[in-house]
Amino acid sequence: MLAKFMQREKRFIKSEKIAFFVLPMILFPLLLELLLPGLHPEWFKIHREEILISNILYIVIARFAILDTAVYIFSRSKHHIHFALMQIVLLYLEVTVITIIYYAAVFNIFDVFSLFHLSAQLTPENMQAIHDHSFITSMYISTVTFTTLGSGDWIPQTLPAMVAVISEVILGVVQGGVFVAIVIYAHQNKGK
């Protein structure tokens, strides 16, 4: 079964040209979740931790599938290495942005202010501005977590938030290594 999946003609994404259009589809499950708290607030409140964990598992599995597909596509590319390298860099950037947006959306859906505590001392006006822009706050937390900057001001308050931070940090650290591996693999196989 695995051998059949590994054959190029059996792959869903067979070309680097379609990969850039297919990847954003990873965000589609979140569209339903954006509606869920408004449509079924009580059910969402009861099951929010399970939904959060399932979101984390989903993005981890989806990312590994995407990166595996990227290795497969670009290692078999017949284009000149510079063109392939540009495609790899753009795909790497797209995967990074999608991952950061995914985690930010999850943090926002589950109320970033109940998942994280801000330990910094801010003026009431600044604190209100942060509360009024919860998605930007979520993007900030997701970005500093993914890039492993970890400002230290935002502290996870719940176990699911801690698991989310752990998974995003691991994905951020691993992605750098995967990027280098993809470039090396593509370069080694450019003539095949």
Alpha helix segments (H runs only) across 76-158: 81-109, 112-115, 124-132, 134-146
Average pLDDT over residues 26-37: 84
Supply the pLDDT for residue 15: 61
Cβ-contact 102, 59 below 8 angstroms:
yes
Supply the pLDDT for residue 143: 95
Per-residue pLDDT tens digits for 141-182: 999 999 988 778 899 999 999 999 999 999 999 988 888 887
Cα 164 to Cα 175: distance, rounded to the nearest angstrom: 16
Long-range contacts from 28-35, C-beta under 8 angstroms, 24+ separation: 29/55, 29/58, 30/55, 30/102, 30/105, 30/106, 30/109, 33/105, 33/109, 34/105, 34/109
Q: What is the mean pLDDT of the chain?
A: 81
Per-residue pLDDT tens digits for 52-102: 889 888 888 887 777 666 666 666 555 445 566 667 777 888 889 999 999
Supply the pLDDT for residue 148: 86
- Report which of residues 26 and 75 the model is more confident about: 26
pLDDT of residue 32 exceeding 50: yes
* Residue 156 host element (H or E): strand 154-156
Three-class SS of residue 189?
coil
Enter the pTM of the model: 0.69
Supply the pLDDT for residue 77: 53
